[in-house]
Structure 1
Amino acid sequence: MSVPDVARRLPTVSALRDLRLARAAVEAVLAPGDPFRRHGFGARGASGCEVAGTDDGTGDSSVIVFSAVGANHLFDLLVDGTPEAFRDRAEASCERPVDVDALRRLCALRPPTAPMAGALDPGADLHRLRPALAATACPQAAGPTAGGPLR
């Protein structure tokens, strides 16, 4: 199936939300005591967001956050995966400016450095970010340098 074929078949955000909620509800009814259910759906919290998650137990998982702003951006980022589009989404989520040059370097899969992390979040400590970055399989520098790249 080609990318245009997939794009034509994508559901609306509303339909996707309903589908994910229905799957979580069906599984909750079928296996109410099972802590390892594949589908979950979190009700609206103070932020007004809803979270749908899927985990098949073999490492394949997905999470979709539905919010007044974010749900529409889900498909925007699939269609326009540029650093600028990601910056717009990140700025809306974080409610602060996000450095597009640092995003470009990270989106180009360059190993994260302390200056890059600091440009994205002035309070970032690359050493504390190492486990989270390593879990993403992001490329890593061969060793530490003056800029403090991730090992």
Structure 2
Amino acid sequence: MTVYDTAELLPATPVLRDHCRALAMLEAILCPDARFRHYTFDTRWSATEELASMSNGAGDEFSIVFSPAGAYVRGFDHESPMSPYVDEAPWPGVVDEVPEVFRRYVEEPAFSDGVGFPSVTACLWRTTGDDTWRTGTIDFPDHGDPDGSAYLFEHLTDRSVETYQGFAEDMHEVPVDPDAVGHVLALRPLTDEVVTALNPKLTLADLAEDLAATGYPRHSR
């Protein structure tokens, strides 16, 4: 699997944004300590931009900037043969064709780990005028998951309750209620019952800051 496959499987930008918000809220409930969360979402990344992030704590990560221009996706797999750390530059084609409206994200300091070049092995984008996700033209190395896409974007391309439940039970080492997961993935307003079904140590009131950060809906839409 490569970023080409990911481009075929990602949903439209508004659906992806909502799914990222739901993943961040699930993580906030299951992992109250923000330092150890896999997924986060920041509606206040800038005055006009929101940021969805993933970090596994072992060097693999993604960032998605949602802006008035569309969405820009950057993924980094630290074990990828396409790692920019090999030649201190992104693999040819990965970011070469990123349109001007998203070019500043390629050089964004938060996405470069302070090394002077982008930390990226996979990149996609979709402007408001696009009807599909775009990628660069890439000659991939012979490898089962050359750019890390299969792992990095697993919960974006497979948005099922079962996939997230399995991941969460393994990651957090607790039973995870599938009905509660489905409730959050559907972006239904949280209730104390849903929260405690996922984490008996929390109440809805404990999540006020996370609700504000993710923009998770408080009322039915």
Superposition misfits of 4+ residues, deviation over 6 angstroms: none
Matching residue's letter, 2:7: V
Q: Does 1:38 align with 2:110?
A: yes
Q: Determine which of 158, 161, 170 is the counterpart of 1:92.
A: 170
Whose radius of gyration is greater, 1 or 2?
1
Displacement of 1:87: 0.9
Q: Does 1:101 align with 2:179?
A: yes
Greater helix proportion: 1
Residue 83 of structure 2: SS of its match in structure 1?
Answer: helix
| Aligned CA-pair RMSD | 3.9
Paired residue total: 101
Aligned to 2:161: 83
Residue 15 of structure 1: SS of its match in structure 2?
Answer: coil
Displacement of 1:78: 2.4
Over 3 Å counting, the alpha-carbon distance change for 1:11 and 1:134 in structure 2 is closer
Displacement of 1:19: 3.9
Over 3 Å counting, the alpha-carbon distance change for 1:140 and 1:17 in structure 2 is farther
- Over residues 82-111 of structure 1, what are the superposed CA-to-partner deviations in whole Å (9 max), with x where a residue is unaligned? 111111111111111111100101111100
Q: Determine which of 80, 90, 95 is the counterpart of 1:15.
A: 80
- Over residues 58-101 of structure 1, what are the superposed CA-to-partner deviations in whole Å (9 max), with x where a residue is unaligned? xxxxxxxxxxxxx9643321221111111111111111111110
Matching residue's letter, 2:170: A
- TM-score, normalising length from structure 1? 0.51
Percent identical residues: 28
The CA distance in 2 between the partners of 1:126 and 1:100, in whole Å, is 18
Aligned to 1:111: 189
Matching residue's letter, 1:39: F
Over 3 Å counting, the alpha-carbon distance change for 1:16 and 1:138 in structure 2 is farther
Q: Give unpaired runs (5+ residues) of structure 1.
A: 24-35, 42-51, 54-70, 143-151
Displacement of 1:119: 0.6
- TM-score, normalising length from structure 2? 0.37
CA contact (8 A) 2:189 2:218 kept: yes
The CA distance in 2 between the partners of 1:75 and 1:5, in whole Å, is 7
The structure, 1 or 2, with the larger RCO (C-alpha pairs under 8 Å, 6+ apart) is 2
CA contact (8 A) 1:73 1:89 kept: no
Q: Does 1:120 align with 2:198?
A: yes
